[in-house]
Amino acid sequence: MIVGSISEDRKLENRVAITPDIVKKYKSLGLKVYLSENYALHLGITDQIYKEEGATLFKSDEEVIKNSDMFIQMNLPNNENIGKIDKGKILIGVLSPHLNQHILKDLISRDVKCFSLELLPRITRAQSMDILSSQANLAGYKAVVDAFAFFQKAIPMMMTAAGTISAAKVLVVGAGVAGLQAIATAKRMGAIVYATDVRLASKEQVESLGGKFLTVEGAENLETEGGYAKEASEDFKKKQEGLLKETLKKTDIVICTALIPGKTAPIIIKKDMIDVMQSGSVIYDLAASQGGNSELTKVNEVVDSNGVKIMGEANILNKLPTSASSLYAKNIFNFVNNLFNNEKKSFEINLEDEIIKKTMLE
């Protein structure tokens, strides 16, 4: 059986789905690995390194697709390459079914088995495959580092003979994986950190990292059975807005991480809230690619609103592609290993397995 992967569109994506150390793991299962030439050259990983680990490289994407039984990517391949995926083959990646419905329906109608890993259930057995957590962890870290680099003041409190510099105040909106890593990173760098989330269960996690949890009076727990946040009621939103507006008056840096899977990101930081922020403050919106948590966010632009800078990148992990690829490749391998039947030496789609059932598109 053959696992294949081709280069992503480098204008959009710098991560790769198979790293050299993971080639060895596929080989240990008795699988062959086919890649396109210069697959990860942009990461400083030459074709020779892949060959030394046992991968076979082809000059054209078409050859890889034609000869592979399973096709592994970061994102959905372009239309030209999608048309070359034959009946009975398996496609695995972050396929964004809510954005690519028509393309995926066509693939499924051609009997291509599609698995979208952002749909993984939040169960213990799936933790090693959890691409959302591994990637969000890095995103939360990088958002803080970039926001601090853009902020024109020192972050920690500094007591000097010339006077004292106050510690920067950071607000993290959304205390999921990205938010918790943002809190931890900001605290390590000496900031005073506040956080808010619609899931009351996150309060304990925030406080364990040294953050101060902002609670809306009379708040209800807005958490799904799968552990994700769900849409808040209008009453909750109004109370949250009032609390945030008061907090933002004395906040230096805001890290926005709130997302609802498969939906447009909720707008939490509205223009009237930004208007009360101090000039020189920074908002880093990790939800930019899904519409943004800030009303003024524009993808891949730095918006200046009366001295408040709002930043939002389409893909912040393009700035950490080597680390992100390493984690993603391990997540994917663990998923493939779950699909692979060692005795039969073939891929087996067992719909009684919750992991397979939840991620397979129909």
Domain boundaries, the chain: 2-119+321-353, 136-318
Average pLDDT value for residue range 240-251: 92
Which tokens go with 346? 């073939």
The reply to whether domains 2-119+321-353 and 136-318 share a CATH topology is yes
Catalytic residue among 69, 106, 122, 289: 122
State yes or no: is 96 an active-site residue.
no
Please list the alpha-helical segments (H only) found in the chain. 20-28, 47-53, 61-67, 79-82, 101-109, 131-150, 177-188, 202-208, 234-248, 271-274, 321-339, 354-359
Catalytic residue among 47, 69, 110, 228: 228
Q: What residue type is assigned to position 131 of the chain?
A: I
State yes or no: is 50 an active-site residue.
no
Determine the CATH number of domain 136-318.
Answer: 3.40.50.720
What pLDDT score was predicted for residue 234?
73
pLDDT score of 53 more than 70? yes
Catalytic residue among 7, 15, 34, 130: 130
pTM over 0.85: yes
Q: Tell me: the pLDDT tens digits for 182-191?
A: 999 999 999 9
Q: Which helix (H) or strand (E) holds 303?
A: strand 301-305
Q: Tell me: the pLDDT tens digits for 59-107?
A: 999 999 999 999 999 999 988 899 899 899 999 999 989 889 999 999 9
- From residue 155, give the alpha-carbon distance in Å to each of 144, 162, 199, 259, 285: 11, 17, 28, 27, 19
What pLDDT score was predicted for residue 222?
54
Q: What are phi and psi of 18, to 5 degrees?
A: -135, 125
**Residue 230's pLDDT band (boundaries 50, 70, 90)?**
low
Catalytic residue among 133, 134, 181, 202: 133
State yes or no: is 275 an active-site residue.
no
Q: How many residues does the chain have?
A: 362
Average pLDDT value for residue range 156-168: 95
State yes or no: is 122 an active-site residue.
yes
Task: Determine how many CB atoms are found less than 10 A away from the CB of residue 159.
Answer: 8
Average pLDDT value for residue range 260-278: 90
DSSP string, 178-243: HHHHHHHHHHHTT-EEEEE-S-TTHHHHHHHTT-EE---TT----B-TTS-B-PPPHHHHHHHHHH
Edge to edge, the sheet with strand 282-285 lists 212-213, 192-196, 169-173, 253-256, 282-285, 308-312, 301-305
Summary mean pLDDT of the chain: 92
State yes or no: is 205 an active-site residue.
no
pLDDT score of 224 more than 70? no
Fold of the 2-119+321-353 domain: Rossmann fold (3.40.50)
Q: What residue type is assigned to position 205 of the chain?
A: Q
Catalytic residue among 28, 60, 101, 127: 127
Which tokens go with 128? 């090693």
Rounded CA gap, 240 and 198, in Å?
9
Q: Tell me: the pLDDT tens digits for 319-356?
A: 999 999 999 999 999 999 999 888 788 888 999 999 99
Rounded CA gap, 296 and 304, in Å?
9
pLDDT score of 229 more than 70? no
